[in-house]
Structure 1
Amino acid sequence: MADPVSLSAFPVAMRWLNAPEAYTVEGYDKLVVSAAGGTDLFTDPADGTRHDNAPALVGALNGDFCVSALVRVDLTATFDAAALVLHSGPDTWAKLCVEASPQGSATVVSVVNRGVSDDCNSFRADPAAADVRLRAGRTGSAYVFHVRVDDGPWELIRYFALHDEAEVGFLAQSPTGAGTTVRFEEIAYSAERIADVRDGS
């Protein structure tokens, strides 16, 4: 899995942070990733326990960017998730997920890790019932996460700094389950800066 991976919709070659059980690149803008059971990216703020074995395909982009994808995911077990990830290193990263909550609902979750992780649930968004798109962007020295459901507006989820250059890409996880498969469809890249991070334009 050391060989670089090329996605036509992504402007640079990408690399795996952790190898998936399987993956396929389909056409111009689709990536399918299968994560094994017991895979996660999270550092517990209570005791510092680190989990960093989730498969993630990332690439380094220069300057401002937006990367988005429509996600399809089998949310079978608690915390199964599809995510966009920003990765500077083991201690500095962020992810934007559609994740299975302990209550059994598909939920938009974001985590920013600076040594340890925070964990923020935003709203329910079920990719089995609606088109859920995740977007990660860099604007100057800051990063931003947005989510769009069906034809609605881009909703701001997080606006933050990592203080280091971050690779961006796609992650699948199944911390408590036997594994899951994520489809990232309609992958899109733009080098344009988001004009207004708060209204998503």
Structure 2
Amino acid sequence: MTTAETTEPVPWSAGAWTAPPVAVSEEGAALLVTAAEGSDAWRHTSYGFVHDDAHALLAPLPDPGAVEVSFDADFGEQFDQAGLVLRAGAETWLKAGVEVSDGALQAGAVVTLSRSDWSVAPVPEWAGRRVTVRASRAGDAVTVRARVDDEPFRLLRVAPFPEGVPVAAGPYCCAPTRAGLVVRFRRWATGPADAALH
């Protein structure tokens, strides 16, 4: 499993926003991002709507390659969320991280290949702590892992993703149901893809 020793930090200035946040500021090495009320990323499935205005700070990701994003999971309103995005286009993307759903913090992922899906698992013990999400892309798949603090990474998802299509990747957040969400991102890094699934 790749660790921080084999990843290289990406400067916040290297990315471009898919949708500008309400406010962005740097505090030491951290990036503070204020999400717009109603911002979200989703296509069709079950809800019947398309939202493509989540705040994602993206830069090109090598293929194969991996991206890691660390942030403080210090939020608690319905659907508050933060993590990382891999994006090939409006209909081909993946977001993974933590989200408040039904009153609990959940770790999960949305994979969108024309239509979105969603998987979550409760992680209430992660609330208020530093979360790192990692996505490793190789061949026709993306492997998503996450951890809290310095605990071992947990496998969240192995998802299909089009092979050979250029992608951009980086941190994201959004606030579908309220104003005032501020996410403190701690680190953005890239490195080699995982050598093995297990």
Q: Tell me if TM exceeds 0.5.
A: yes
Query: What's 2:114 paired with?
Result: 115
Q: Aligned-pair distance for 1:77?
A: 1.8
The answer to whether structure 1 residue 147 and structure 2 residue 137 are counterparts is no
Q: Which residue of 2 aligns with 1:59?
A: 59
The structural deviation recorded for 1:26 is 4.3
AA of the residue aligned to 2:137? R
How well do the aligned residues superpose, as a CA RMSD in angstroms?
A: 2.2
Q: 1:23, 1:80 → 2: CA distance?
A: 17
Instruction: Name the SS for the 1:186 alignment partner.
Output: strand
Matches within 5 A, 1:87-126: 87-102=87-102, 104-126=103-125
Q: Deviations over 1:141-173 (max 9, x none)?
A: 421210112332211111123213221011111
Question: Is 1:179 the equivalent of 2:180?
Answer: yes
Q: Amino acid of the residue matched to residue 146 of structure 1? A: R
The structure whose RCO (Cα within 8 Å, separation 6+) is larger is 2
Other-structure match for 1:158: 157
Percent identity at matched positions? 34
In structure 1, C-alpha distance between the alignment counterparts of 2:70 and 2:126, rounded to whole Å: 9
Using the alignment, how far apart are the partners of 1:169 and 1:187 within structure 2? 7
Aligned residues of 2:171 and 2:188 also touching (Cα < 8 A): no
Deviation by residue 1:97-119 (Cα, 9 ceiling, x = unmatched): 210111x1111021001111101
Change (3 A) 1:13 1:107: same
The size of the alignment, in residue pairs, is: 188
* TM-score, normalization by structure 2: 0.85
Contact conserved, 1:173 with 1:179, CA < 8 A, in 2? Answer: no
Normalising to structure 1: TM-score of the pair?
0.83
Q: Which runs of 5+ in 1 are unaligned?
A: 1-7
By percentage of residues, which structure has more helix?
Answer: 2
Which amino acid in structure 1 is aligned with residue 57 of structure 2?
L
Paired with 1:126 and 1:44, the residues of 2 have a C-alpha distance of 31
Quick check: 2:140–2:160 contact (8 Å CA) kept in 1? Answer: yes
